[in-house]
Amino acid sequence: MRRNRGSGLSFARRKKKVNFAIIREVIVWTVEILITIMVAFTCVYFLGLRTSVVGQSMAATLNGGDEILVNRFLYKVTDPKAGDVIVFLPNGNEKSHFYVKRVIATPKDVVQIKNGLVYVNGEVYEDSFEAAPVEDAGLAAEEIVLGDNEYFVLGDNRNNSEDSRYANIGNIKKEYIVGKAWFRCAPWGLWGFIE
């Protein structure tokens, strides 16, 4: 008697073909997506901190309400230099809003304000913009010697700025600096790099 192999139960295993092309495509897509997510996260974390300028202390460079992007990576590999516009927390107070000011002097420099002029190491500090004479020298009426990792900052609108001249702000320690203000992204008509 002849049995029909096509009918009935069969417990023999059939060898399935693995489609390596599809597996390879899935792996390539997964790796590309992970790389894109890592690049996006890095860019947003280090270059994309967005904050608002509070008040008119940086006018005419920046105005109150301007939205700026902060580069948090730069000062992890270099130090702030005179002329940089930085974003910091006064005395490291994380409950405070971010302050935006311009670095005037760096560690070990000697700062003094007299006769309306800012002196750094005995030389008149040259601004990249036209600054009004300083009416209130505050703590800088006497020479201030900056310590290691300390920075002296002023607002560009010198006579309407709460900055290193006052005891509640004082010299800024590097650990309190969030990053460098590098791009104004709002209002749209004024967007561009910050100098």
Instruction: Tell me, yes or no, if 57 is annotated catalytic.
Output: yes
Indicate if 52 belongs to the active site.
no
Token pair 């139960």 in the structure block, residue: 9
Of the candidates 69, 79, 85, the one whose C-alpha atom is nearest the C-alpha of residue 128 is: 85
Residue of 52, 57, 114, 180 marked catalytic:
57
Q: Which residue type, as a one-letter code, is found at position 32? A: E
Q: Which of 16, 76, 101, 180 is catalytic?
A: 101
Tokens 């901190």 appear where?
49
Question: Any idea what DSSP says for residue 158?
Answer: G
State whether residue 147 is helix, strand or coil.
coil
CA torsion through residues 165, 167, 173, 177, sign: negative
* CA–CA dist 98, 88 (Å, integer): 6
Where would I find the H helices in the chain?
20-47, 74-77
The Cβ of residue 157 has, within 10 Å, a number of other Cβ atoms equal to 18
Positions marked active-site: 57, 101
